[in-house]
Structure 1
Amino acid sequence: MRIGEVIGRITLSRCHPSVQGAVWKLVVPLSRKGLNGGTEGRGEPIVVFDEMGSGPGSMIAISDGAEASAPFHPEVKPIDAYCAALLDEIRVNP
């Protein structure tokens, strides 16, 4: 699981029928440096399936890879990243 910051929303003109009506967010994964506010610790943006209602600037926990589709088991959905939690506060020890 990774932590990321929501920077936008994605709108699809066509999609797989199993994800019709889904909400997609553009999220920047953050490393430890990024969590401390540094621009150096920000990764490449990824598209994340979101059922939690996150908005721009929200910090979220991202489940990616095979675990991203686990909440939908036994239904199969073509998802690579899933918003697993909205984070209220993050504390990074030096």
Structure 2
Amino acid sequence: MKLARTIGTMTLSKAHPGMHQAKLRLVEVVESIDQIDVEPLGGETIVAWDLCGSGIGDLVALAEGPEAAQPFSDVKPLDASIVALLDEVDLGR
């Protein structure tokens, strides 16, 4: 699981049947915890299925690979899913 920040939305004109009514978000991966409050992050940009209703600028938890599609009983062509909205990150410093 990775930390990421939602930076945009993607719309598809044609998609796999399992992707209808999908909310796809563009997210930037947080490369270092020291950059968690920096915007823009400048990290890798990924398209992720939004399971949580994230908004632009939200800090999220991102699942990638086979784990991204596990919540679904039907087959979905996913590489990444937003699985949590993060309210706070406490490093105990």
User: TM-score, normalising length from structure 1?
Assistant: 0.87
SS for the counterpart of 2:71 is helix
SS for the counterpart of 1:72 is coil
Q: Could you report, residue by residue, the CA deviation over 1:56-85 in whole angstroms, capped at 9, with x for unpaired residues?
A: 100100000110000003x11101100110
SS for the counterpart of 1:60 is strand
Question: What is the Cα deviation at residue 93 of structure 1?
Answer: 4.8
Question: What is the Cα deviation at residue 44 of structure 1?
Answer: 1.4
For structure 2, the 5+ residue unaligned runs are none
The count of corresponding residues between Structure 1 and Structure 2 is 92
- Aligned residue number for residue 13 of structure 1: 13
For structure 1, the 5+ residue unaligned runs are none
Answer with 41-50 or 12-21: which moved more: 41-50
C-alpha separation between the residues in 1 aligned to 2:39 and 2:23?
Answer: 28
Question: What is the Cα deviation at residue 35 of structure 1?
Answer: 1.7
Q: Of Structure 1 and Structure 2, which has the larger fraction of its residues in helix?
A: 1
Alignment map for 1:46-65 (pairs within 5 Å): 46-65=46-65
Q: Is the 8 A contact 1:34 1:42 kept in 2?
A: no
| Percent sequence identity over aligned pairs | 39
- Aligned residue number for residue 35 of structure 1: 36
Q: Which amino acid aligns with 2:28?
A: V
Q: Is the 8 A contact 1:35 1:92 kept in 2?
A: no
User: TM-score, normalising length from structure 2?
Assistant: 0.88
C-alpha separation between the residues in 2 aligned to 1:16 and 1:38?
Answer: 33
Distance 1:10 1:38, change over 3 A: closer
- Aligned residue number for residue 25 of structure 1: 25
